[in-house]
């Protein structure tokens, strides 16, 4: 029979590493958080006090509920976090923006968007013409048309960025453009009205703590089933790095026969 081992009191120091595992459409997805700034486990419980007679002291306390919340702050941002926190669908071929500053069209009625783009969404293109390079004098907005021979005040553009204007609309003027194109080499997270966070398993390994006696202690924490609370922020600020935070609530897995929600284990290295 194995001998029971006592836990060793330690000073928690450092943040360790975190692994999040979820199953989506039968496929296992693993997200690693190796540059944590903090990780917190918050245990809480509530109860109802039962009173009887004239005594101000309760005669019984009913345990009402208990909860475990896990919050983590990562130093780096990853699109994959949105799959965990908001149920976003991850895929390639993101929508990107292009902008063309005021450019002179010396003559003619055609123009090609620079950059060798091949997948421009014609309906997304905003086109204006002006009399100056700053794009502010006699500015006129043009409208997109599917007609290959646009009438006055309109333009046609192909997915490759070849633009055609009405005769006399742009010659000697400056064209300013903004639009959307797709890129197969880009990554995107798509959130729909049906997107919901998936169930995840959380695994955390603490930073090894040196006990000063040649031994180190590591804490392994496993949350068998949890779900993101849905709160996630992307905060862009001037000259300031942003560390995104994620919050999860542990759930009871009704498929488990042992009723376990979480397990925290201590390993003494060098023992």
Give residue 1's pLDDT: 45
Of 102, 98, 129, 134, nearest to 115 by C-alpha is: 98
CA distance 218 to 9: 11
Phi first, then psi, for residue 160 (nearest 5°) are -85, 0
Domain ranges of the chain: 17-88+191-269, 92-188
In tens digits, what is the pLDDT along the chain, a chain of 271 residues? 455 566 678 888 899 999 999 998 888 999 999 899 999 999 998 889 999 988 899 999 888 888 999 999 999 999 999 999 999 999 999 999 999 999 999 999 999 999 999 999 999 999 999 999 998 899 999 999 999 999 999 999 999 999 999 999 999 999 999 999 999 999 999 999 999 999 999 999 999 988 877 888 999 999 999 999 988 888 999 999 999 999 999 999 888 889 899 999 999 887 6
Residue 40 β-bridge partners:
71
154-157/162-165 β-pairing = antiparallel
- The pTM (predicted TM-score) of the whole model is 0.80
CATH code at 17-88+191-269? 2.30.110
Over the Cα atoms of the chain, what is R_g?
A: 30
Of 260, 196, 258, nearest to 225 by C-alpha is: 260
Residue 245 β-bridge partners:
73
Give residue 256's pLDDT: 86
CA distance 205 to 220: 5
Give residue 218's pLDDT: 93
Mind listing the pLDDT tens digit for each residue in 90-104?
Answer: 999 999 999 999 999
Give residue 271's pLDDT: 61
Give residue 113's pLDDT: 97
């Amino acid at each position: 029979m194995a001998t029971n081992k006592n836990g060793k009191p330690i000073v928690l120091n450092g943040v360790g590493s975190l692994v999040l595992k979820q199953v989506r459409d039968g496929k296992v997805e693993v997200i690693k958080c190796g540059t944590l700034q903090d990780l917190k486990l918050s245990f809480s419980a509530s109860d109802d006090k039962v009173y009887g007679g004239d005594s101000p002291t309760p005669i019984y306390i009913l345990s009402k509920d208990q909860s475990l919340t896990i919050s983590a702050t990562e130093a780096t941002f990853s699109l994959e976090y949105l799959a965990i926190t908001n149920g976003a669908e991850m895929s390639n071929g993101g929508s990107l923006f292009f902008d063309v500053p005021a450019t002179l069209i010396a003559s003619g009625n055609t123009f090609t968007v620079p950059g060798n783009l091949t997948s421009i969404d014609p309906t997304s293109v905003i086109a204006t013409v002006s009399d100056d390079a700053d794009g502010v004098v006699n500015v006129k907005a043009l409208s997109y048309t599917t007609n290959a021979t646009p009438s006055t005040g309109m333009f046609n553009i192909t997915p490759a960025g070849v633009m055609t204007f009405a005769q006399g609309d742009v010659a000697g003027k400056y064209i300013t453009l903004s639009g959307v194109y797709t890129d197969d080499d880009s990554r995107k997270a798509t959130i729909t009205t049906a997107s919901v966070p998936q169930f995840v398993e959380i695994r955390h390994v603490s930073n090894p703590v040196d006990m000063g006696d040649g031994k180190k202690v590591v804490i392994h924490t496993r949350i068998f089933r949890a779900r993101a609370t849905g709160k996630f922020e992307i905060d862009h600020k001037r000259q300031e790095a942003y560390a995104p935070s994620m919050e999860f609530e542990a759930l009871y897995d009704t498929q488990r026969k042992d009723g376990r929600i979480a397990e925290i284990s201590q390993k003494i290295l060098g023992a």
